[in-house]
Structures are given as structure tokens and as C-alpha cells.
Chain A
Amino acid sequence: MAAAPRTVEQMKHTQPEREHKREREHRRAPGTARGTPIVSAVVVWTAVGAALVLGACAEDPLSLEPDDAPGAATITREEFLPAAELPDWRDTTISGFVRRTTASFVVVAIEEGFQSRTLMRFDVPDTIMTFADTLPVDHFDSASFTVSIDQAFSEFAEFPATFRLVGLAQAFDAETATWSEAGDSAAWAMPGGDLTTEIAAGELADEEGSVELTFSVDADSLLKSWQELDGGPGVALMFDGAEAFVRIPSVVLHIEPVLEGREVPVRQDLAPVDRTFITDPPFPPTGTELRVGGVPGSRAYFQFTMPDTIAGVPLRGSTVNHAELILQPLPAADSAWVVRQGLNVRQVALLADPWELGARTPVGASSAAGVRLTPDLLAESTPLTLNLTAIVANAAAGGPVTIRIGVRPDPVGQELGFVSFGSVESEGELAPVIRVVLSPPPVFGLP
């Protein structure tokens, strides 16, 4: 039951009584909670104080205009550093990271201003190992070739498309053979290879993944001659018809030898022991421009030293908000070597001087994200930017100021075509430029 409210007058009368009661309790039980009203007051006041403190800490900072705000400030600025103005700038193209003999594809093509043939040599075995024994080959029952077609990278003007495999009169050297030379400075009697008789042929009806070439000559005698001559001079795979550019991942020779004393042929699939492709025109030599991609797998390498000051701002101690190397793609000089589908490139750190070690220069970490250079982007001359923020920031923090980086295709040997970029020797806006966004250290006053 609630007590009846008392009037002010009643409270005045009862106040001395409460004081007297508290006094008695204080004497009776000193140090206890009931007997120490001051301690209780401490708790109450402490709680009140804590609430005030907590409330006061939940304030928002002021929002000010730059001119009104006190304290430190800095100016973030953007500067473009042309390569020619940077101390010790060097750039170069290093090639040879993939060769025609080690690429994941070969090419046959007939296009306006460009043609290509694939040269191969098959080493047909004299003996075949079976479960029980190793027996010599008596004769070859049948044989054929299967040519795989990479439709994503191939272009046909029309179907059916005819492929021919023609014998060579002169042996070729896979590493050095060109359209005009069989290798080791030995010229072909006929540019593109000394062709003899047609060995096999086949038609690709439509956009299928492979085409089978059937022998046009006696397979048994030809294969036996390849047995004796370790593949002989070799064969040339060519396209016969309207324009086409065909990228071929593999060519397989299927043979069905019948072993001595046996009647059932033993099917064997043979890959060429030597394989290359020759082009007309030949792969263009590297000029002053920088090159990335293609076969022989070119990379662009750079070395430069960041200046001590950028537009009057000391690099050391400044915050590098962003830094990038801008490379301007050049128009392809020859349509034969354009990037057809796209080229994935990645930035890498160089761990040594590439001008000393060349292709053996060790590379460090690659950029996490690669860049895909598509034909559309290249046609629009969209620059390739390499993020240098971490490297230049490290230089600003006292790290090495000499920067070595490279651009490589990743993976190597994606396309026959390559991308050219302007080098330090290029004119005007085609030359590389470093863009730096930096902020000098904020200046703190006292306080």
C-alpha cells in the first residue's frame, strides 16, 4: 500500500527525527553500509560522474572548411615524369622465354601478306615393347595423322578447309629454320621448304576440333624409310585453299605396326620429335620499341632511379598516394603479328640487373592482378599502366630508389602476336611516363 503523500509542513517536522536516526545508526554500526552514509554518497556521486563522463565522450568532431580548420595539412599533388627526364632510365625488350619449338602451338596460315607452315619430323620406332617382349616391327598395317585445331584462335575464310602434309627434300633444323633457310645458314631451294610429294591430306568440314589426314602414299614404305633415317628430312604441314589462320596445339601420327611373329597390329600414337613453324614474313626483329608477348615470348624490362625531389617536394618522407608507369601501345607495324584474341600481361619485380643477365634475370613477385590487353583496347591505344605505388612508397620510406620492373605475358606463349609500346627513344607522348601522386609530410606546429 502506498504511503499517503505528506505536506511540506509534515516533512519539516520529521526531518530532525531522520537526522537523529542516522546519527544513531552511525554510532551503532560504524564502517557498515548502513552506518556510513558518506560512502553511499561516494557510490552515488561516482555513478553520476561516470554517466557524465560517458555522455561527454560521445561527441562528434567539428566539420570545418579547410581555411578554418586548425592543425597540420598537406597538399596532394600530381606530377608526370617523362622517362627521358628521369635519371638512369633504361628500357629494353628481352625475348626467348618461349621458342617456336617449345610453344604450345604451331601455325599454318595463308593470309594476305602472311603465310606459315609447320615443319615436323617423326621418329618411327624400329621395335615395339609389348607386355611379354620387345619385338621388331614387321610392317605397318595402316597410319594416319590427327591435326588438332584451336578454334578459338583460328580463322577460316571458308569450309571445307584442306590440310596437306608434304615431304621435305631437305632436312630442317627446328631451332633455326626460317621461310628462306632450312637452318644453320642452309637455304631452301624453294622458299617455304623444299616440298616433294604429298604424304597425306584431309579436309576440315566445319568448326571441328580436329582433322584427320589420310596417307596419299604407301604408308608402310614411308614409315620404314623414316625408321631408317630417324624421321628423314621431315614433313611440312600446310593449308591449301582460301585464307586461313590455323593454330594447331598438336599433330599426332597414328601407326598400327604388326610385330614380327604376330598378326594383330599394335596401335601407337607418335608426336613429332622435331617441330617448328616458319613464317613469311619472318618474325620482325625488335627495334627501339618495347615488345611484350608473341613467340619468342618477349618481355619489357625497365630500370630507373626515382629523383630526390619531385616538383620541389622531397620524395623521402612524403606519402606516395599513387604511382604508376604509363606505357603507350604502338600501332602494329604488320597485321600478321597483331594480338588476335587478347594478351594477359603481368607486372613483375626484377631482382637483378637485366642488362647484365638478360633473359636469366631472376624475377620476384608478380602483381596480384594481371591486365588483359584486348584488340579493342589496343586499337583505341589505351595505355597500359603498371602500379608502382608500393615500390615508390618504399623508396620514399628510405628503401632503394633504383627501381627495376618488367612486364611479361602470363602465361608465356599465349599468342603469335605481340604488343609494342613506346620506349624512352619514342617521340612525344609515346614515350613511357611515370605518374606520381604524392603528399609531403604534414607539418605539425606546436602544439
Chain B
Amino acid sequence: MARAAVGLIWTTPFAVPCAVEGQTPVTAVGLGYQVEAVDARASALASLGGGLLGGSFSIRHPADLVLHGDPSFSMTYATEAVDFTGPDANWQTGRTRFPAIRALFPFGDWGLGIGFGGELDQSWNASVRDSVELGGVQRPYEDTRENDGGLSHIDLSVARSLGPVGIGVSAQRMTGSLRQLFVRSFDAHSEEAGLNGVAGARSYSYSGWRVGVGGLVQIGDWALASVSLSPGSTVDSYIQEGEGDETQFGLPALLSAGVSARFGQLMLTGSWSRRKWQDAALPADAEFSAHETTWLGGGAELDAFSLLGGRVPLRLGYRVADLPFSTTGEVTQERAMTLGFGWIFREGLAAADVSAETGSRTLDSSGSGSSEGFSRITVTFSLRQRLR
């Protein structure tokens, strides 16, 4: 456990969000891009982390805490490259997140989990170039539009094992902040002519609570099913800078389930969740539409290889997920092939899991010629302290 604490101290500074750049016009819509608090193993299996034999450091399923027999700590890092092809131009951009950081503490039949997970990524930074005619002269300018922040949660989960059954509850403190910035800069000639730019900013902080319950059933060591439910909740936003009123928006209820079964060295898993974002209390003046989203994925893990003294399970999966927000009224779908591997030393005392996802987001069924492809690398480092 002490080593896990050492790891926590060393790695926590890197969990500070960096200046995430460049969501696309697709994912920078509405309340932001929905971030799943999953680790690299779940990501490689196209899973949300629930009902995975061997346990997961994903945060969504509280009952799955009972699958961990040792205190452990994990940190997951994800970096994503996006290739957007529009009708007029192509853009390459990317973003970086820490979707899940988690510490687990089992006590007999009980399990306690403390975690920090992503919820909504609202960071993006876009520049717009245009010109305006002033005094008979065309004055070029560049707008910088920047959103920096997002919504995360601090999770406290408790679970108990009752034979083959496990139950768990979680309380999540929603937290985060967002700073919106707008800067218009005219070109040097215009500035020499006495033309000043424009700058405006607004920032606010988020707070709220969400609870969840979950349960699992394990059949021997070869089959597992897990389900979790979080009712809808409300997030309050408080103005910290600039003009505006305190407001709030809703997060919809979340139903999630996962199953897995092992057949020798092969494990198969499936995952599903649903959220009705259109039922959430969204801002009245929202210029976007919210949708019911379904997350469906499945994958396989083959634990038959080793390398330099560590087990190297190979993973493969495929998932289809709806994005909750769009400006066209149509649901944007994200599809991804996933694959990955783990490198597990000494029965999991130290492990590194890596997943690679490649997929696309269907932008517009009307055929405007826009498309978006993405590639995401997720890495999870985990440490365990063996108690027995």
C-alpha cells in the first residue's frame, strides 16, 4: 500500500489538466464531449468497465469493487488525434485527458474506492479568420475562441461481497470549471491605424452531486454480470468572472450493464449503457439538440502470452456509441475498432495496459462531405499491494 501511495504522489501532478486543444466542430457541441471514465483494459475491450472478469479500474460500476482483492492504485491517460475532413478543408487536431484515476481499498468482504473521473470535456480552442470593412478599408482580423475546462467527478464507492453476489453504492461530487474566452485581433496595419481588438471572458465553476447503485453476479471464475444505475442529477454553475446568471443543467439517468465469460484463456465481454440526454434539464437557450444515447460494445481477451516475465493478454473489440449533442438535430455516432494489450507483472502487482482505438464519427447523413476520423491511445498504469 505504501508503494501505491508513493505512486499516487508521483503521478498526481501529471493529472492536472493541461491546455487541451482542438475539439472539432462535432464534439465541441452542447455540453461538451462525453468522457467515459474507463481504463485502458476496458477501452481495449470496447467496454465501459462493468462486468469484466478480473476487475477494472473504470469507475462506473460500484459493485465491481469486490472483484479487487488487493489495495491498488491506477492512473489512466488518453491521447487522441482527430482528422476532420470538411467540404472546404482538412484539419488535424487532438486532445488529451486523464479519464480515470482510482485507488481501491478492500477490507474483507468490503471494498472502498476513491476515484477521479472525467464526465464532460468542454475544452476546445478555435481560431477564425475574417475581415470587416471599416472606413472603406478591408480590415482582416482573427478571432480566438477558447473554452478551457470541463466537468469531472470525485467518486466514493463502497461495495460488499455476498458470496457470488456483490452490491455497491457510489456518491459522486461533480466538480469542474470552465473559462470561455473570446479575443479578436486585427492585423498590424489596422492596429497602427488605431483599431483596437475585442476581448471578453466568462468563467464559472460547477458543483453537484450524483449517486449510483450497482450489483453483480459471478458464476465461478468464468462468468460475470454487472449492472449500475445512476439517477439523473443537476449540476449548478456559478459565475466567477464576467456577466451572466447562475444557472444549472441536468445530467440524465444512466443505466449501464456489462457481462463477461471466460473460456480457458479466452474471455468474451459485452457492454451496454443508455442515457436520455433529451430528458435532462438543459439550458433553455441552448442552440443544440440533445439525444438519447446508446453505448454498445463487445470484445475478447486472450491471455496466452508472456514477455520478459510478464503476462501479455491481447485484447480486441468494437463499439458503437451515440454522441449526446448535435447542431443538426441528427444523432452523431461514434464507431471504433479497439485493440490493446496488457503487461502484467507478478500477478498484477504492477501492470501497464495499452489500448488503441481507431474509428469515425458520422457527422451528417445528408452527405455534405464532412467526416471525422480519430485515433486514441489509452494507457493505464496500476500498482497493487498484495495483502496475502
The answer to whether the Cβ of A446 comes within 8 Å of any Cβ in the partner chain is: yes
Query: CB distance B196 to A53 under 8 Å?
Result: no
Query: CB distance A76 to B198 under 8 Å?
Result: yes
Chain B residues with CB below 8 A from A42, complex form? 3, 6-7, 10-11, 381, 383
Chain A residues with CB below 8 A from B244, complex form? 444
**Chain-A contact segment, one of B48-56, B125-133, B212-220:** B125-133
Query: CB distance B145 to A69 under 8 Å?
Result: yes
The answer to whether the Cβ of B355 comes within 8 Å of any Cβ in the partner chain is: no
Query: CB distance A446 to B3 under 8 Å?
Result: no
How does the 8 Å CB contact mask read for B76-102 relative to A, with 1 for contact and 0 for none?
010100001010110101111000000
Among A18, A46, A70, contact of B11 (Cβ-Cβ < 8 Å): A46
- Given A15-B309, A61-B146, A69-B128, 7 other A-B contacts at CB below 8 A? A43-B10, A49-B77, A57-B96, A65-B88, A322-B134, A393-B196, A446-B247
**Chain-A contact segment, one of B23-31, B35-43, B103-111:** B23-31
The answer to whether the Cβ of A441 comes within 8 Å of any Cβ in the partner chain is: yes
Bound Cα distance from A60 to B3, whole angstroms: 38
Among B25, B125, B202, B249, contact of A68 (Cβ-Cβ < 8 Å): B25
Mark out the residues of chain B between 329 and 353 whose CB falls within 8 Å of any chain A CB in the assembled complex: 345, 349-350, 352
Query: CB distance A39 to B200 under 8 Å?
Result: no
Query: CB distance A66 to B130 under 8 Å?
Result: yes
B: contact size bracket = 35 or more
Query: CB distance A63 to B129 under 8 Å?
Result: yes
Among B89, B135, B308, contact of A435 (Cβ-Cβ < 8 Å): B135
- Closest Cβ of chain B: how far from A321's Cβ, in Å? 5
Chain A residue with the shortest CB-CB distance to B249 = A446
Best-buried of A66, A393, A441, A446 by chain B (most CB within 10 Å): A446
26 example contacts (A-B, Cβ-Cβ < 8 A) are as follows A18-B309, A49-B75, A53-B14, A53-B18, A53-B77, A56-B95, A57-B21, A61-B127, A61-B146, A62-B24, A62-B93, A62-B126, A62-B127, A64-B128, A70-B126, A72-B200, A73-B128, A73-B182, A78-B132, A322-B194, A389-B194, A441-B200, A444-B180, A444-B242, A447-B122, A447-B180
Chain B residue with the shortest CB-CB distance to A437 = B134
How does the 8 Å CB contact mask read for B193-232 relative to A, with 1 for contact and 0 for none?
1111111101000000000000000000000000000000
Contacts A61-B126, A72-B180 given; indicate if A38 touches B350 (C-beta within 8 A): yes
Chain B residues with CB below 8 A from A61, complex form? 21-22, 93, 125-127, 144, 146
How many A-B residue contacts, CB cutoff 8 Å? 197
Best-buried of A42, A322, A435 by chain B (most CB within 10 Å): A42
Chain B residues with CB below 8 A from A321, complex form? 186, 195-198
Chain A residue with the shortest CB-CB distance to B176 = A447
Query: CB distance A70 to B145 under 8 Å?
Result: yes
Query: CB distance B18 to A56 under 8 Å?
Result: yes
Chain A residues with CB below 8 A from B193, complex form? 322
Query: CB distance B243 to A70 under 8 Å?
Result: no
- Closest Cβ of chain A: how far from B98's Cβ, in Å? 9
Query: CB distance B25 to A70 under 8 Å?
Result: yes
Among B18, B200, B237, contact of A57 (Cβ-Cβ < 8 Å): B18
Best-buried of A52, A74, A444, A447 by chain B (most CB within 10 Å): A447
Best-buried of A15, A43, A319 by chain B (most CB within 10 Å): A319
The answer to whether the Cβ of A50 comes within 8 Å of any Cβ in the partner chain is: yes
Query: CB distance A71 to B182 under 8 Å?
Result: yes
Bound Cα distance from A445 to B11, whole angstroms: 35
Chain B residues with CB below 8 A from A64, complex form? 25, 91, 126-128
The answer to whether the Cβ of A144 comes within 8 Å of any Cβ in the partner chain is: no
Chain A residues with CB below 8 A from B77, complex form? 49, 52-53
- Closest Cβ of chain B: how far from A25's Cβ, in Å? 14
Contacts A50-B14, A389-B194, A445-B283 given; indicate if A62 touches B379 (C-beta within 8 A): no
Interface residues of A (CB under 8 A from B): 15, 18-19, 36-39, 41-43, 45-46, 48-50, 52-53, 55-57, 59-66, 68-74, 76-78, 317, 319-322, 324, 387, 389, 393, 435, 437, 439, 441-442, 444-447
The answer to whether the Cβ of B124 comes within 8 Å of any Cβ in the partner chain is: yes
Contacts A42-B10, A66-B128, A69-B126 given; indicate if A60 touches B134 (C-beta within 8 A): no
Query: CB distance A446 to B283 under 8 Å?
Result: yes
Bound Cα distance from A36 to B350, whole angstroms: 12
Best-buried of A15, A63, A319 by chain B (most CB within 10 Å): A63
Chain A residues with CB below 8 A from B169, complex form? none
Contacts A38-B350, A72-B200 given; indicate if A62 touches B147 (C-beta within 8 A): no
How does the 8 Å CB contact mask read for B279-310 relative to A, with 1 for contact and 0 for none?
00001011100000000000000000000110
- Closest Cβ of chain B: how far from A336's Cβ, in Å? 35
- Closest Cβ of chain A: how far from B339's Cβ, in Å? 19
Chain B residue with the shortest CB-CB distance to A447 = B122
Bound Cα distance from A56 to B18, whole angstroms: 9
Chain A residues with CB below 8 A from B182, complex form? 71-74, 442, 444
Among B32, B199, B202, B349, contact of A38 (Cβ-Cβ < 8 Å): B349
Query: CB distance A445 to B287 under 8 Å?
Result: yes
Chain B residues with CB below 8 A from A324, complex form? 194
Query: CB distance A63 to B91 under 8 Å?
Result: yes
Query: CB distance A46 to B143 under 8 Å?
Result: no
The answer to whether the Cβ of B162 comes within 8 Å of any Cβ in the partner chain is: no
Bound Cα distance from A446 to B77, whole angstroms: 27
Query: CB distance B199 to A319 under 8 Å?
Result: yes
Contacts A319-B199, A322-B195, A445-B285 given; indicate if A70 touches B242 (C-beta within 8 A): no
Chain A residue with the shortest CB-CB distance to B7 = A42
Query: CB distance B3 to A36 under 8 Å?
Result: yes
Chain B residues with CB below 8 A from A63, complex form? 89, 91, 126-129
Among A18, A60, A389, A439, contact of B21 (Cβ-Cβ < 8 Å): A60
Chain A residue with the shortest CB-CB distance to B141 = A76
